């Protein structure tokens, strides 16, 4: 607990320091960095996505600043932990917008949090740029909401079409977590896409967050005699589902959503993952020069392999740099925020995730929407313990 005298003391110190800080800022106006907010889940369960995302930003920022920044101005990442929680995301967004006075905010990590915090940024006329939000409806929040992560509804049709070209796909079963925005949204997309492609769903099973035993649901799916099982699950649950399915003698191929798109799936499921299909905006085996450069730099800096999430955040920061180079920032923050929001939709970029541009989200009842990612997904299947690209 902070006692009253201690609080007074703090205030006194702050008052002493304040002129120093502002004086320092005034002395060198040209070198003032561009403040970029990064609000990601750095602790809590979602940090398994948030930390790779932050790493992507850190790597890109380091490269950009080493190359001299943007027209002489360096980038300064103001990082906040939103802990993968709605309330926390709202607090962090307010702090970044009103206290830290950032130009835009990258994040938050989960779609759930964007639904909660996005409206704050939109009302304050500050761009909120998600690099990992894939749920439908995110960009309906308003014209200041951008995302570089393709929606499941972009990835799933391509995935199912490719699978259908390689094996019979007439009757399928689905298993998904119905208490999570990410897996639920993945399920909705699969369901409507399957309907469009006239594939019959003969059994749908659900589980709850934190479940480890899926044998009851899988036994039912086995009895339903399906061609394949659709699993819009996260990698950890997905690995367990695969292992238990194989142990029960259920040998049909699995088709995963965005959550399957993780080295953790192969790592945990091992041979049980064989023959699993996934669609993804990023492929680590992509030989494009941008991707190879990213892979090398990431491994060198972090001594580990990047994943899709770090590739997407890395690309997002470079996209921002591309845009900032085209506009002239003024001394007024509000005006700069508007300038950026107007220039960002014009992005045309090729990075670690391949060619990228933005697509305006359809407006709802006359309300303008934000911008979704326009990108062709990669489709791959697990063969001999490795993700293998399928054309």
Which of 317, 262, 366 has the alpha carbon at shortest distance from 48? Answer: 262
- Rounded CA-CA distance 18/24 in Å is 10
Which of 229, 214, 225 has the alpha carbon at shortest distance from 173? Answer: 229
Of 3 and 208, the one with the shorter C-beta distance to another protein is 208
Q: How far is the CB of 308 from another protein (least distance, A)?
A: 14
Which of 279, 317, 40, 26 has the alpha carbon at shortest distance from 161? Answer: 279
Of 134 and 217, the one with the shorter C-beta distance to another protein is 217
Q: How far is the CB of 25 from another protein (least distance, A)?
A: 35
Binding site for another protein (CB under 8 A): 43-48, 51, 178, 205-213, 215-217, 219-220, 222-223, 236, 239-240, 243-244, 246-249, 264, 267-268, 272
CB proximity list for 251: less than 8 A, separation 6 or greater: none
Of 29 and 249, the one with the shorter C-beta distance to another protein is 249
- Contact between 337 and 103 under an 8 Å Cβ cutoff? The reply is yes
307 CA to centre of own chain: 11
Of 43 and 357, the one with the shorter C-beta distance to another protein is 43
Q: How far is the CB of 62 from another protein (least distance, A)?
A: 22
Q: How far is the CB of 309 from another protein (least distance, A)?
A: 12
Of 90 and 242, the one with the shorter C-beta distance to another protein is 242
Q: How far is the CB of 172 from another protein (least distance, A)?
A: 16
Q: How far is the CB of 216 from another protein (least distance, A)?
A: 4
Kindly state the DSSP code that residue 281 receives in the 8-state scheme: S
Give me the helices (H) in the chain, please: 4-27, 47-66, 86-94, 111-123, 152-166, 181-196, 215-223, 235-247, 263-269, 289-302, 308-326, 333-343
CB proximity list for 32: less than 8 A, separation 6 or greater: 25, 73
Q: How far is the CB of 27 from another protein (least distance, A)?
A: 39
- Contact between 295 and 284 under an 8 Å Cβ cutoff? The reply is yes
- Rounded CA-CA distance 323/346 in Å is 8
For β-strands 348-351 and 354-360, DSSP reports them as antiparallel
Which of 345, 346, 351, 355 has the alpha carbon at shortest distance from 377? Answer: 355
- Contact between 68 and 84 under an 8 Å Cβ cutoff? The reply is no
The residues that bridge with 106 in the sheet, in sequence order, are 38, 129
CB proximity list for 259: less than 8 A, separation 6 or greater: 182, 183, 186, 232, 233, 234, 235, 238
Q: CA-based angle 378:130:142, to the nearest 5?
A: 115
Of 224 and 350, the one with the shorter C-beta distance to another protein is 224
Q: How far is the CB of 270 from another protein (least distance, A)?
A: 8
Q: How far is the CB of 361 from another protein (least distance, A)?
A: 30
Q: How far is the CB of 220 from another protein (least distance, A)?
A: 7
């Amino acid at each position: 607990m902070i006692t009253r005298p201690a609080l007074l003391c703090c205030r006194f110190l702050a008052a002493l320091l304040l002129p120093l800080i502002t004086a320092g800022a005034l002395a060198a106006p040209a070198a003032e960095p561009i403040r970029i907010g990064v609000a990601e889940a750095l602790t809590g369960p979602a940090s398994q996505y948030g930390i790779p995302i932050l790493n992507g930003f850190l790597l890109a920022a380091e490269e950009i600043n080493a190359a001299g920044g943007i027209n002489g101005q360096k980038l300064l990442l103001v990082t906040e932990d939103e802990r993968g929680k709605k309330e926390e995301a709202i607090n962090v967004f307010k702090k970044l917008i009103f206290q830290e006075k950032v130009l835009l905010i990258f994040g938050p990590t989960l779609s759930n949090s964007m639904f909660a915090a996005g409206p704050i940024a939109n009302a304050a006329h500050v761009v909120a740029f998600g690099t990992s939000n894939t749920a439908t409806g995110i960009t309906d929040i308003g014209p200041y909401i951008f995302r570089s992560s393709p929606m499941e509804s972009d990835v799933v049709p391509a995935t199912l079409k490719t699978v259908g070209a390689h094996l019979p796909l007439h009757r399928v079963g689905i298993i998904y977590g119905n208490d999570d925005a990410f897996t639920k949204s993945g399920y909705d997309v699969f369901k409507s896409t399957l309907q469009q492609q006239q594939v019959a769903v003969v059994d749908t099973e659900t589980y709850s967050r934190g479940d480890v035993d899926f044998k009851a649901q899988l036994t039912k799916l086995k009895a339903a005699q399906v061609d394949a099982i659709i699993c819009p699950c996260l990698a950890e649950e997905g690995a367990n589902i695969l292992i238990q399915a194989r142990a029960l003698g259920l040998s049909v191929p699995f088709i995963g959503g965005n959550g399957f798109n993780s080295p953790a799936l192969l790592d945990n499921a091992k041979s049980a993952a064989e023959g699993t299909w996934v669609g993804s905006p990023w492929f680590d085996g992509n030989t494009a020069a941008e991707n190879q450069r990213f892979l090398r730099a990431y491994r060198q800096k972090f001594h580990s392999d990047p994943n899709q999430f770090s590739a997407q955040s890395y690309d997002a920061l470079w996209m921002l740099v591309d845009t900032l180079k085209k506009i002239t920032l003024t001394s007024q923050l509000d005006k700069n925020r508007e300038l950026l929001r107007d220039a960002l939709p014009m992005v045309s970029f090729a990075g670690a995730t391949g060619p990228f541009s933005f697509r305006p989200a359809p407006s709802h009842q006359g309300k303008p929407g934000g911008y979704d990612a326009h990108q062709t997904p990669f489709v791959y299947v697990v063969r001999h313990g490795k993700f293998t690209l399928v054309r």
